[in-house]
Amino acid sequence: MSSYSSSNLSSPNPSKGAKGLLGSSLIVASMTMLSRILGLVRDVVIATLFGAGSHADAFFVAFKIPNFLRRLFAEGAFNQAFVPVLAEMSQQDNKQLLKAMVSKVAGSLLMVLSVITVIALVAAPVLALVFAPGFAGDGGKLGLTADMLRITFPYLLLISMTGFLGSLLNHAKRFVIPALTPVLLNVSLITAALWLAPQMTIPVMALAWGVLAAGILQLALQLPFVAQLGLLVRPRLGFSDTRVKQVMKLMLPAMFGVSVAQINLLLDTVLASLLQSGSVSWLYYSDRLMELPLGVFGIAIATVILPGLSQRHASKSPQAFSDTLDWALRMVLLVGVPAAIALGLLAEPLVATLFHYGAMGDQDVLFSAASLRAYALGLLFFMLIKVLAPGYFARQDMKTPVRIGIWAMASNMLLNLLLVWQFAHVGLAMATSLSALLNAVLLGFGLYRQKIWQPCVGWGVFSLRILLASGALCGVIYLTFQPVQRWLVWGLWQRVEQLVIIVVLGILAYGIGLVLMGLRWRHLQGPK
């Protein structure tokens, strides 16, 4: 075992050492927090205007399909496959070769995405039926979903190319713009809901146009910053190029390995469409709340460590690789445990405060809160997957996560079938959490068994500190919690006031608990 204080992190940019890991993670987390807060505002607006009825269900399915594929192409497989190859090329220190590779990868990716988009536009009704078979008995609902899907699907192409540009910026340690880009989606949807929807015959269609506009704006935002790097080149086809083949070879298995959680969530939507009306929306709202800590912290840490892990693998620094991964796991535990506790214990207050307005009724709040509590059980494991998977991808090992992903997906499908009939949409969320547990355990055990990750000293003490501080958090929530019925009848500001009090006191209790247990800032700095 090693300790952070004795390790020597080899990095192309020494200034980005330990302090850089924590500092970059905080930068990405803060930008992501801004995006997520606006995302919650977006969801409040949508819930208020459209509730959890058939039109809302139709939009959520039409948006989920390209958004799911976005996570496969942009945030998932492509990023995980491209960044390690980019790190290898950067070791050669040849700008012309790098630009040529970027041009060919961009052109090849653009061609694949264009073909997929055209097929989807033609087959929109079939796609809608595949992803929401429960809509088959409602021709109007299915037709509306297909119509919106034709508008939203080009978002996949636009945001995937945005993700490609973001990979270039992240590799150059310019994390702010890629992390800020998602803000535009939320701004676009809020604008569409408040301004465009009242002007349309079918108001919910405005949301679909908002998604398309967001894709254009997000791509446009990153172009000038990539140009500053000197990497804004004309896309060229290059399927025969060695590096393009390498990216594609790594990308295909990574599409599955990195996206198991998203596939599981999509399966939830498919089965939810077979349940009572509103089930898709209940799962959507609870998933959105679960995604807040997952996106702000889990994805932020994963985004920051992947370029570093890839560089350390390319420079053959196994100890630095292990120490970086160990630091990431500790940060996930530090944030993930209290976040999961808070989501589970405050499910009804959170849903009521954010969504219980307009068309969103009492039953919708209770049902959404129930699935949120089930998702909270798996939050820590969702976050662990985000930081464990790069431990494989950075080494260009895509096969292992795929094998593990197959087991996780199979378990999710089995658990879905076992739990859905007894617990309805809550059973679907519970199955997803349990499969995430299996996925995270297998990923972590694989890295440990191969000695890729060797735990640094102090894990026992660190875990005990988190456990005791979490106990203090639970105590504060117990003492300040008000009955659910009160949250349902309170107005907006009374809910906000009560929730802020609980959250602030909870954070203080957790933080003071950690300090009293001996945790200091230096313990969070990571490897040097």
Expressed as residue numbers, the domain containing 246 is 16-524
pLDDT, one tens digit per residue, over 360-414 is: 778 888 999 999 999 999 999 999 988 898 888 788 787 888 888 888 888 988 9
Per-residue model confidence (pLDDT) at position 153: 93
The full DSSP string for 328-347 is: HHHHHHHHHHHHHHHHHHTH
Per-residue model confidence (pLDDT) at position 32: 74
**Is residue 163 in some structural domain?**
yes
**Is residue 4 in some structural domain?**
no
pTM summary value: 0.72
Q: How far is residue 296's CA from residue 207's CA, in Å, rounded to a whole number? A: 24
CA nearest neighbour of 248 among 237, 233, 259: 237
Q: How far is residue 323's CA from residue 8's CA, in Å, rounded to a whole number? A: 9
Amino acid at 67: N
Q: For residues 340-349, give the mean pLDDT.
A: 93
**Is residue 159 in some structural domain?**
yes
Per-residue model confidence (pLDDT) at position 14: 34
- Of 41-45, 88-92, 326-330, the one with minimum mean pLDDT is 88-92
Q: Which residues contact 16 (CB under 8 A, 6 or more apart)?
A: 24, 173, 308
pLDDT, one tens digit per residue, over 200-231 is: 889 989 999 999 999 999 999 999 999 998 88
Per-residue model confidence (pLDDT) at position 323: 87
Per-residue model confidence (pLDDT) at position 9: 28
Q: How far is residue 353's CA from residue 488's CA, in Å, rounded to a whole number? A: 9
Q: How many domains does the chain have?
A: 1
**Is residue 362 in some structural domain?**
yes
Per-residue model confidence (pLDDT) at position 5: 41
CB 219, CB 162: distance < 8 Å: yes
Task: Please determine, for residue 74, whether its predicted confidence score (pLDDT) is greater than 80.
Answer: no
Q: How far is residue 209's CA from residue 188's CA, in Å, rounded to a whole number? A: 9
Confidence of residue 271 (pLDDT cuts 50, 70, 90): confident
Dihedral (Cα; 481, 485, 489, 495), 10-degree rounding: 20
Angle in degrees, CA 295, 399, 428, rounded to 5 = 45
- Between 52 and 484, the more confident residue is 484
Task: Please determine, for residue 136, whether its predicted confidence score (pLDDT) is greater than 70.
Answer: yes
CA nearest neighbour of 78 among 242, 280, 306, 272: 306
The 10 Å CB-count burial string (b at 16+, else e) for 136-160 is: eebeebbebbbbbbbbbbbbbbbbb
Task: Please determine, for residue 16, whether its predicted confidence score (pLDDT) is greater than 70.
Answer: no
CB 152, CB 211: distance < 8 Å: yes
CB 109, CB 161: distance < 8 Å: yes
Q: In whole angstroms, what separates CA 423 from the centre of its chain?
A: 26
- Of 131-140, 216-225, 227-236, the one with minimum mean pLDDT is 131-140
371 dihedral zone (left: phi>0; alpha: psi -120 to 50; beta):
alpha
Task: Please determine, for residue 8, whether its predicted confidence score (pLDDT) is greater than 50.
Answer: no
Burial (0-12, 13-18, 19+ Cβ within 10 Å), 221: middle
Dihedral (Cα; 425, 427, 428, 429), 10-degree rounding: 90
- Of 51-65, 200-214, 218-232, 429-443, the one with minimum mean pLDDT is 51-65
Average pLDDT, the chain: 83
Q: What percent of the chain has pLDDT over 90?
A: 31
Q: Can you give 76-117 as a three-state secondary structure string?
A: HHHHHHHHHHHHHHHHCCCHHHHHHHHHHHHHHHHHHHHHHH
**Is residue 191 in some structural domain?**
yes
Per-residue model confidence (pLDDT) at position 77: 66
Give the sign of the dihedral formed by CA 40, CA 58, CA 193, CA 348: negative
Amino acid at 507: I
Q: In whole angstroms, what separates CA 165 from the centre of its chain?
A: 18
